[in-house]
Structure 1
Amino acid sequence: MGTSTSGIYKRFVKRPMDFVLSLIAIIILIPIFLVVAILVRVKLGSPILFRQKRPGLNERIFTMYKFKTMTDKRDDNGKLLPDDKRLTQFGKLLRSTSLDELPELFNILKGDMSIVGPRPQLVRDMVFMTKEQRERHGVLPGLTGWAQVNGRNGVTWEEKLSLDLEYVCNVTFIKDCRIILKTIKGVIKREGISSEGMDTAEDLGDYLLRQEVISAKEYQAAMKESELLTKK
């Protein structure tokens, strides 16, 4: 697909296609939505949906929806317990089958997300990215993406963000189709769900601090910035 054809797809075809396909998927998957919602309510309690602020196109903050996968257990001081203490076997099953991602179809329908694009990271991840890495927000974030089919959480942050930028520079219909097909294969094989030794992926800031790329002072400053962004 040539550059001009690629530009036409990105500007005029991709969004209408996202709308139509997400609408069809929601209609077809209504029975699965209902079953998962009931199971989440019974096993994890309400609310059944997990809502979180994420940076989208041009770093506009939006609310992303997912099915809840963790309990709301807290310590004696009322603080939420670490993720690994709240992630149940049922929650792990939802994540490994990607069923927890189904509500994101409504984000696609609304125009917050695309079927294919860089995954919407946390706001507290975005503030630790370099200026070049933040160019990944030049397209709508996706339900799946180039980084996800090339390792998902099994690759380093540097590799993941590099793959995101590679996609942003080459958005084509053929590539999107390849990513969707590889995503289906990955879901079936349940590959790359979490980083080695971790139940959930490590935040970028924590990773950079652990690797001594940034100082504790820089870490705290960026975290404060992310808190301000999520409150807007």
Structure 2
Amino acid sequence: MIVKFVFDRCASLIGLILLSPLLAIISILIKIKMPGGPIFFCQRRVGQYGKLFTMYKFRSMTVNHCGSSVSVAGESRITPFGAKIRRYKIDELPELWNVLIGDMSFVGPRPDVPGYADLLQGKNRKVLKLKPGITGPASLKYRNEEEILALQVNPQKYNDEIIFPDKVRINIEYLENWSFWKDLRIIVYTILSKDLDQ
């Protein structure tokens, strides 16, 4: 996967340079519209081989909120401006830095908070061989995950029993059938907000 390594480093550097004006504007707007807190949301996530790393996102929630690791559309801890940048995935742009320094890849499973990796058993533990990604086949299928969870009586239970196992299945399939061209297709489909089966 040398080509994936080179692509991740080069594309993330170019992306950070080209998007620097947008990153600066979003940073300013966060300070204006969500004062009293940091610009970035930093959280420990599980990376390749189960190693923890710090993931960076634009902050989209209130400071010192009490909530679960599962985000649901419309919940009060998400600010109005935060909801907008989450809708268009702008809050995830700082993850380009994670890709540049090697913690993440453009394509791979979304990085989970500690605890979920402990649920992986048998063949499913193979998913830890992958670097977490900004996007991936499971991310495309569940790009409206917050809206799906908002319809559930118990969002946490639905995530743990339905969505999480399905994501693991999809990511194992991605690992076993990986190709660079499939990665490029996933990136393009992410930009176009299309499903992989379209």
TM over 0.5: yes
The secondary structure found in structure 2 opposite 1:85 is coil
Deviations 1:136-173 (A, max 9, x none): 11021111011112233257222211101111112211
The unaligned stretches of length 5 or more in structure 1 are 1-9, 75-79, 192-232
| 2:124 alignment partner, one of 120, 128, 133 | 133
| 2:101 alignment partner, one of 104, 110, 115 | 110
Whether the 8 Å CA contact 1:69–1:88 is kept in 2: the answer is yes
Query: Which one-letter code corresponds to 2:169 in the other structure?
Result: S
The secondary structure found in structure 1 opposite 2:116 is helix
Give % identity.
39
Q: RMSD between aligned alpha carbons?
A: 1.9
Q: 1:39 to 1:122 in 2, by over 3 A?
A: same
- Report the Cα distance in structure 2 between the residues aligned to 1:171 and 1:99, rounded to whole angstroms: 27
Matched residue count: 173
- Report the Cα distance in structure 2 between the residues aligned to 1:50 and 1:171, rounded to whole angstroms: 31
1:166 maps to which residue?
173
- Report the Cα distance in structure 2 between the residues aligned to 1:40 and 1:131, rounded to whole angstroms: 43
The secondary structure found in structure 2 opposite 1:14 is helix
2:40 maps to which residue?
49
The unaligned stretches of length 5 or more in structure 2 are 149-161
Query: Which one-letter code corresponds to 2:128 in the other structure?
Result: H
Deviations 1:6-44 (A, max 9, x none): xxxx1x211111000000000000010001001111122
1:180 maps to which residue?
187
1:37 maps to which residue?
27
Match runs of 1:202-217 below 5 Å: none
The secondary structure found in structure 1 opposite 2:177 is coil
TM-score w.r.t. the length of structure 1 is 0.69
Whether the 8 Å CA contact 1:73–1:81 is kept in 2: the answer is no
Deviations 1:165-188 (A, max 9, x none): 1111122111101100110112xx
Match runs of 1:41-120 below 5 Å: 41-45=31-35, 46-73=37-64, 80=66, 84-120=75-111
The secondary structure found in structure 1 opposite 2:111 is coil
Give the CA deviation at 1:73.
5.0
The answer to whether residue 113 in structure 2 is matched with residue 122 in structure 1 is: yes
The secondary structure found in structure 2 opposite 1:70 is coil
Give the CA deviation at 1:81.
5.7
The secondary structure found in structure 1 opposite 2:109 is coil
Query: Which one-letter code corresponds to 1:164 in the other structure?
Result: N
- Report the Cα distance in structure 2 between the residues aligned to 1:73 and 1:62, rounded to whole angstroms: 21
TM-score w.r.t. the length of structure 2 is 0.81
Query: Which one-letter code corresponds to 2:80 in the other structure?
Result: Q
Whether the 8 Å CA contact 1:133–1:162 is kept in 2: the answer is yes
1:13 maps to which residue?
3
Structure number with larger C-alpha Rg: 1
Give the CA deviation at 1:119.
1.1
Over 6 Å off, 4+ runs: none
The answer to whether residue 139 in structure 2 is matched with residue 148 in structure 1 is: yes
